[in-house]
Amino acid sequence: MITVRLVDCVECSSITALLEDIDCKLTELAKDLYNNTIFALNRPIQHTVFWDLLNYKRILTYRICNPDYALPYTTEMIASKIKILKFK
């Protein structure tokens, strides 16, 4: 299976920038969910994207304190997943 990976991403190198990016996407998804509930818009909600972003945020938050946390997954791998989830 082919996995997509972003290379030469300047914003992807810092964990704090990735956390800000995740927060923006979570805010956008939460607004969509709120508007969908209040105005009965019946738009599809991406629940899996929401939970994936929360998991990536947890991993990156732990990685700030302990750089050896979840070593098989590099920050670049997580950044590429976040950027791909952003466009779904």
CB-based burial of residue 76 (10 Å sphere; 0-12 exposed, 13-18 middle, 19+ buried)? middle
Encode pLDDT of 12-33 as tens digits.
678 999 999 999 999 999 998 8
Question: What token pair was written down for 15?
Answer: 């964990």
What amino acid occupies position 60?
A: L
Rounded CA separation 26/28 (Å): 5
Q: How far is CA 76 from CA 8, 47, 53, 65, in A?
A: 10, 24, 15, 18
pTM value?
A: 0.80
Encode pLDDT of 63-83 as tens digits.
999 989 988 888 888 888 888
What amino acid occupies position 67?
A: P
